[in-house]
């Protein structure tokens, strides 16, 4: 149940150079329900290519979004305090910089459980969320955040405008990488944005992915991995202008993009474009040793975990994250090495990591069972997790951080 693209997801070019294959892997967020434990977890090929025309890095397989973001999708943004703090800070900046008030409209694409829009709603600023995943959308509505359970694109944008809804601010965090119809999605943003409106978009930065070898953030939900050089022409193609770029540490390194209907590009855009050209990020050569570096980390991580096990250590893991599914399955770390994974997200507890079938439990089990080591799969939140698990550490527990280089702390 997947398709392979005929051309680049942004510019359509067929000049796509392969840069990495992660083989056949399960769906990263396809956590296995105990009731379904009999069946085989479907696996899909996962291959990454570089567009020689527009320098967009992308996965060539498309698994239908209806499969990825259905009832079984249990990613809830609110289970990370750091993500909530990050989002609140962004919201407060926007409220001030855009003078948002009761006459405004803030529209969020992939609004999940309302983790972001609640910051505006509590200030009586009208909001509307759009998210196709039933679970998170339901949680948002229960939290009083108006949410449409739908996929965003041109058609939905036109119907919102027909209802008189145009946005002062469009927020799109960690969704621009997920949409198969990339051009339709960006066209939809132009349609629904007020002329003096702004779209604020966050997406992982391909340079961090490659330089820090964050191979486990490559999975079927993430179709594109962006550079500013690949993004600027994408927005321009839809009469939008990339006016400012910020770099953020969240999720292993992300870009925050400020996009408008008028060309008011700030220096940050020019300096990123120049720096990317100077560093070679726009050339295929930049990506040619990536696969070798990924194999090296995978081998190093597997041997590190095996050595600990052979010494008689008991090992658990923290964070039933999408990236965890890829790291464990593509490295071959299964129930022979890891006893259980813990996660604060109650919707994930009691399920299994697909493929390797490691059980997921509540984080309190760490201090109860006291495994000798905890492999931190949600390494992007390692500081928050290690602070939270200070009790486990004081009792002698140790953490193994897998990316960018396996290290015990």
Distance between start and end Cα atoms, the chain? 41
Choose between 79 and 235: whose C-beta lies nearer to ligand DWN: 79
In the complex, minimum distance from the CB of residue 101 to ligand DWN, in angstroms, rounded to a whole number: 30
In the complex, minimum distance from the CB of residue 395 to ligand DWN, in angstroms, rounded to a whole number: 18
**Is 73 near ligand DWN (CB under 6 A)?**
no
- 378 with 324: CB under 8 angstroms? yes
Q: Where are the beta strands (DSSP E) in 254-397?
A: 254-260, 315-318, 341-342, 360-361, 373-376
Choose between 168 and 343: whose C-beta lies nearer to ligand DWN: 343
Choose between 105 and 137: whose C-beta lies nearer to ligand DWN: 137
**Is 69 near ligand DWN (CB under 6 A)?**
no
**Is 340 near ligand DWN (CB under 6 A)?**
no
> If you compute the radius of gyration of the chain from its CA atoms, what whole number of angstroms results?
21
CA triplet 79, 298, 335: central angle to 5 degrees?
65
Q: Please list the alpha-helical segments (H only) found in 311-352.
A: 322-331
| Contacts of ligand DWN in 100-139 (CB under 6 A) | none
| Contact with ligand DWN (CB under 6 A) among 100, 337, 353, 378 | 378
Choose between 104 and 349: whose C-beta lies nearer to ligand DWN: 349
Choose between 79 and 215: whose C-beta lies nearer to ligand DWN: 79
**Is 320 near ligand DWN (CB under 6 A)?**
yes
| Contact with ligand DWN (CB under 6 A) among 322, 374, 375, 400 | 322
Return the range that interacts with ligand DWN (CB under 6 A); candidates 159-167, 306-314, 328-336, 375-383.
375-383
Cis peptide before 404 (omega within 30 of 0): yes
In the complex, minimum distance from the CB of residue 262 to ligand DWN, in angstroms, rounded to a whole number: 30
| Contact with ligand DWN (CB under 6 A) among 10, 174, 330, 349 | 174
In the complex, minimum distance from the CB of residue 322 to ligand DWN, in angstroms, rounded to a whole number: 4
**Is 32 near ligand DWN (CB under 6 A)?**
no
Phi, psi of 315 (to 5 degrees): -125, 135
| Contact with ligand DWN (CB under 6 A) among 50, 79, 352, 399 | 79
- CA atoms lying within 13 Å on the CB side of residue 280: 7
Report how many residues bind ligand DWN under the rule CB under 6 A: 21
Q: Which of 287, 303, 235, 269 is nearest to 21 (CA)?
A: 287
CA–CA dist 357, 337 (Å, integer): 12
Tell me which H or E stretch contains 128. strand 127-130
Return the range that interacts with ligand DWN (CB under 6 A); candidates 72-80, 279-287, 365-373, 399-407.
72-80
**Is 384 near ligand DWN (CB under 6 A)?**
yes
Tokens, residue 345: 């997200």
Q: Which of 90, 100, 92, 94 is nearest to 125 (CA)?
A: 100
In the complex, minimum distance from the CB of residue 221 to ligand DWN, in angstroms, rounded to a whole number: 4
| Contact with ligand DWN (CB under 6 A) among 388, 401, 404, 406 | 388
Contacts of 187 (CB under 8 A, 6+ apart): 154, 157, 238
| Beta-strand relationship, 2-4 and 61-63 | antiparallel
**Is 220 near ligand DWN (CB under 6 A)?**
no
CA–CA dist 68, 71 (Å, integer): 9
Give residue for tokens 């095996």.
Answer: 306
Return the range that interacts with ligand DWN (CB under 6 A); candidates 9-17, 35-43, 340-348, 364-372.
340-348
Residues in the site for ligand DWN, rule: CB under 6 A?
A: 75, 79-80, 174, 221, 251, 319-323, 343-345, 348, 378, 380-381, 384-385, 388
């Amino acid at each position: 149940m997947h398709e392979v693209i005929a051309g680049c997801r942004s510019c359509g070019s067929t000049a796509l150079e392969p840069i990495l294959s992660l083989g056949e892997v399960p769906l990263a967020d396809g956590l296995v329900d105990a009731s379904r434990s009999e069946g085989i977890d479907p696996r899909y090929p996962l291959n990454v290519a570089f567009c020689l025309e527009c320098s967009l890095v992308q996965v060539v397989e498309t698994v239908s979004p209806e499969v990825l973001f259905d009832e079984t999708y249990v990613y809830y943004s609110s289970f990370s305090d750091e993500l909530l703090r990050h989002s609140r800070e962004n919201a407060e900046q926007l409220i001030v910089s855009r003078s948002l008030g009761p006459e405004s409209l803030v529209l969020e694409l992939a609004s999940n459980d309302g983790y972001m829009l609640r910051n505006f709603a509590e200030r009586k600023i009208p909001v509307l969320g759009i998210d196709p995943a039933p679970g998170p959308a339901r949680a948002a509505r229960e939290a009083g955040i108006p949410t449409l359970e739908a996929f965003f694109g041109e058609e939905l944008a036109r119907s919102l405008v027909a209802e008189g809804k145009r946005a002062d601010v469009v927020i799109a965090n960690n969704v621009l990488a997920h949409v198969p119809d990339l051009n339709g999605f960006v066209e939809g943003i132009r349609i629904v944005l007020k002329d003096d409106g702004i779209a604020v978009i966050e997406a992982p930065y391909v340079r961090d992915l490659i330089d820090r070898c964050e191979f486990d953030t490559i999975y079927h939900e993430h179709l594109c991995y962006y550079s500013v050089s690949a993004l600027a022409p994408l927005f321009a193609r839809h009469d939008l202008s990339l006016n400012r770029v910020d770099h953020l540490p969240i999720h292993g390194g992300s870009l925050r993009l400020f996009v408008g209907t008028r060309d008011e590009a700030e220096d940050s855009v020019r300096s990123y474009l120049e720096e990317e050209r100077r560093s070679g990020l726009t050339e295929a050569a930049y990506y040619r040793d990536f696969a070798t570096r990924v194999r090296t980390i995978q081998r190093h991580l597997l041997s590190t975990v095996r050595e600990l096990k052979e010494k008689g250590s008991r090992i658990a893991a923290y964070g039933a994250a999408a990236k965890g599914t890829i790291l464990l399955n593509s490295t071959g770390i299964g129930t022979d090495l890891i006893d259980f994974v813990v996660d604060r997200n109650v919707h994930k507890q009691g399920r299994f990591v697909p493929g390797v079938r490691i059980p997921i439990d509540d984080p309190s089990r760490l201090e109860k069972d006291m495994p000798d080591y905890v492999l931190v799969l949600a390494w992007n939140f390692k500081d928050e997790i290690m602070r939270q698990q200070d009790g486990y550490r004081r009792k002698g527990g140790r953490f193994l951080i897998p990316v960018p280089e396996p290290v015990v702390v």
